[in-house]
Structure 1
Amino acid sequence: MFSAKQKTVQQHFKKGFAMCLCGLLLFSCDSFFKKKEEQGALARVGESYLYDEDIRPFMTDGMSKSDSASFVTNYINNWASKQLLLSKAKINLPEEKLAEFDNLVSEYRVDLYTRAYKEALVSQGADSLISTNQLEEFYEREKENFRLKERIAQLRFIEIPNNFLDKNEVIKRLKSFKEADVAYLDSIGVQFKKLHFNDSLWVKSSRIFEEIPPITPENQNKYLKKSQFFELEDANGVYLVKIEDVKDLNEIAPLSFVTPTIKQVLLSRRKIDYLRKLETEIIDEAIKDKEFEVYTKD
C-alpha cells in the first residue's frame, strides 16, 4: 500500500506528465498544420500563403523556362507587395475607414453575384427575337428621334494602284454592275487595294473619309451626291466611286440604318421588364414560403 505522501507524489507526476503530453500534442499539431500550409507554397506574408495553383492559370503553355521563372518572380513580388501594403493599411487606417471599405466590398460581392445570376436568368428566359413588325412599329413611332447627325451614303468603290493597266474596263464594269460585271470584278479582286461592293449598306461620311482620303468634310458636297460616279487619285492609289444614294444631315435615317439601334433598345426594354417581373415573382414566392417577412412597428 502507498502512503499518503507517495500518493501525492504520484498525483503530481501524473499531472505533470499529462501537461507535458498535451504540450507535445499541441506542438505536433501546430507543426503538422504549419507543414500542411507551407506544403506547395511559393511564398508567405504573415499568415497568407501563395501557392503554385494560384499562379498557374496566368501562365501560358508557350512560355520558355526563363520567361516562366521571370513571370513567377514578378508575380510573387507583386503579390507580396499587395499583401504587405494591405497589412499596413489595416494597421494604420482609421477604424471607420476600414469599416466603410468592408461595407463596400460586401456590397460589391452581392452586386457581382446577383448581376451574374440575373444575366443567366435573362439569357435563359427572355425572348431575344425581334420581328420585322416590331421594328417597323417602333421606327414609325420614334422617327423624329432618328434624325441623322452626319451625312450617310450608299456606294460601291474600288481602290486600284496608280499604274493599273485595265482601269477603263474596271470603270465600265463598276458603272454597269450587272451580274456578269460583278463576277468579272470579283475574279480580279486580288489586284485591287480596296473594294466595297455592298451598295445597299448605308455608310457614315466619317467612314468614307477614312476609306477614301481625297474626300474630306470640306469637299464632300461636291462628291457625295446621288447617282454620281467619280475618279479621284492621291499618292496611295486611284479611287473609283459610284454613289447610289445619299441622306443629308438632319434627315430621318432609313430604317435599315437604324435597325441595330432599334433592336438594342427593344431588347434592353424587354430585359428590364423581364427582370422586374422576375424580382416580383421571387419576392411573392418568398413571402408565400415564409422565407421573407417585414416587421412593422406598432
Structure 2
Amino acid sequence: MFLKKRKALTLGFTVTIAFLFIGSCGSFLKDADETGPIARVGESYLYKEDIASLLYDGMTKGDSATIVTNFINNWATKQLLLTKAKINLPEDKLAEFDALVADYQTDLYTRAYKDALVQQAADSMVTETQLKRFYENEKENFRLQERLVKIRFVQLPKRFLNKDEVTKRLKSFKKKDIAYLDSIGVQFKKLNFNDSLWVSASRVINEIPPLTLENQDKYLKKSQFFELEDALGVYLAMVTGVLQVNDVAPLSFIEPTIKQVLINRRKLNYIRQLETEVIDEAIKEKEFEVYAHED
C-alpha cells in the first residue's frame, strides 16, 4: 500500500513541475534556445520543434499555455511509465514486445515502399475486352443480393395541375414526350429520365419514400406504372426492367466491382514479381545467402 502511494506522489510531483516550468509558455518559447530542450525525463528530452505544430497564430497565452502544459505532462507520463515498465516487466515479455515493434516497423516500411512502387508501375487501365472476359468467366459469382430495376420517375408538388398530362407523357416517353417533360422539369421536385441504368431497389425506395421493402413486390414489376403519394408530394413512376434476387447481375451494374478486382489482382501479381526479383538480385549480388547446416 505504501509503495502505491509513493509512486502516485512521484508522478503528481512531475506533473506539477512541468506546469510551473511552462506556465508562461508564450514568453518562454520565444526566449528559449532554438536547439535547447524544454523538458526532460531521465535521458529523454522534449524540444521546441516537438510542440511547434500545436501552436498557431492568434492563440491566446492562456490557451497556448494549457495546450503545451497538457502535451508536456502527457509526454512525461508516458516516458515515466515506459521506464517503470522496462524495469518491472519480465525480460521475456520485454523481448516479445521488442520483437513485435521490430516486425511492425519492418512491415510499415516495406508496405509503404511496395505501395509507392505499385503506384508508379502498376497499370490501372482495364479494357472492355478484359471486363467482358472476366464477367463471362465469373458471372455465376455475381448473383444479385437484391432486386434491380430500370425506372423513370418524377416527384410533383401535391397540387400540380397537369398531373394527367405528365402521366401520359411519362408512359409514352417518345422524343416529343421527353422534350415536353424536359421543358417543364423545373416544376418537378425530383426527376429521373435515365431508365437505361440498372439501380438497386433500396436506392429507388430512398428516392420514393411511399415505396417500401414491404410493398415493393406490388410496384416494382416490369412494365408497371404506379402513382404514390405522401406529405412531400406525388410520385409517378414507370418501371421498364426488373432483375430479381439470385439473377446474374448485369455487366453494366457490376463493372466497377470487376474493374477493382482486376486492378487488385494486377497489383498483387506485380508485388509477387517484385519480391521474386528482389531475392534473385540479392542472390546474384551475393547480398543474400542461406548457409547449409546439419539438423
> TM-score of the superposition, structure 2-length normalised?
0.77
Alignment of 1:207-286 (within 5 A): 207-286=203-282
CA distance in 1, matches of 2:195, 2:125: 27
Q: Which residue of 1 aligns with 2:121?
A: 125
SS of the residue aligned with 2:260?
Answer: helix
Q: Which residue of 2 aligns with 1:6?
A: none
Answer whether contact 1:150 1:205 (CA < 8 A) is retained. Answer: yes
Q: Which residue of 2 aligns with 1:7?
A: none
Return the letter of the residue paired with 1:243: V
CA distance in 1, matches of 2:71, 2:176: 61
Q: Which runs of 5+ in 1 are unaligned?
A: 1-34
Aligned residue pairs, count: 262
Answer whether contact 2:208 2:235 (CA < 8 A) is retained. Answer: yes
SS of the residue aligned with 2:199?
Answer: strand
CA deviation after TM superposition for structure 1 residue 73, in Å: 4.1
Counterpart check, 1:139 vs 2:141: no
Answer whether contact 1:224 1:246 (CA < 8 A) is retained. Answer: yes
Q: Which residue of 1 aligns with 2:107?
A: 111
Return the letter of the residue paired with 2:94: L
CA distance in 1, matches of 2:203, 2:194: 15
> Could you list the per-position Cα deviations for residues 69-117 of structure 1 after superposition, in whole angstroms to 9, with x for gaps in the alignment?
5544443343333333323322322221121111111101100111111
Residue of structure 2 aligned with 1:206, choices 174, 181, 202: 202
Answer whether contact 1:37 1:49 (CA < 8 A) is retained. Answer: no
SS of the residue aligned with 1:159?
Answer: strand
> Could you list the per-position Cα deviations for residues 9-49 of structure 1 after superposition, in whole angstroms to 9, with x for gaps in the alignment?
xxxxxxxxxxxxxxxxxxxxxxxxxx9797263x4333333
SS of the residue aligned with 2:210?
Answer: coil
Which protein is bigger by CA-based radius of gyration? 1
Q: Which residue of 2 aligns with 1:39?
A: 36
SS of the residue aligned with 1:87?
Answer: helix
RMSD of aligned Cα (Å)? 2.8
CA deviation after TM superposition for structure 1 residue 142, in Å: 1.1
Q: Which residue of 2 aligns with 1:92?
A: 88
The structure-2 alpha-carbon separation of the partners of 1:213 and 1:79, relative to structure 1 and needing over 3 Å to count, comes to farther
Q: Which runs of 5+ in 2 are unaligned?
A: 1-31
Answer whether contact 2:154 2:190 (CA < 8 A) is retained. Answer: yes
Most deviating of 213-222 and 173-182: 173-182
SS of the residue aligned with 1:142?
Answer: helix
Answer whether contact 2:86 2:94 (CA < 8 A) is retained. Answer: yes
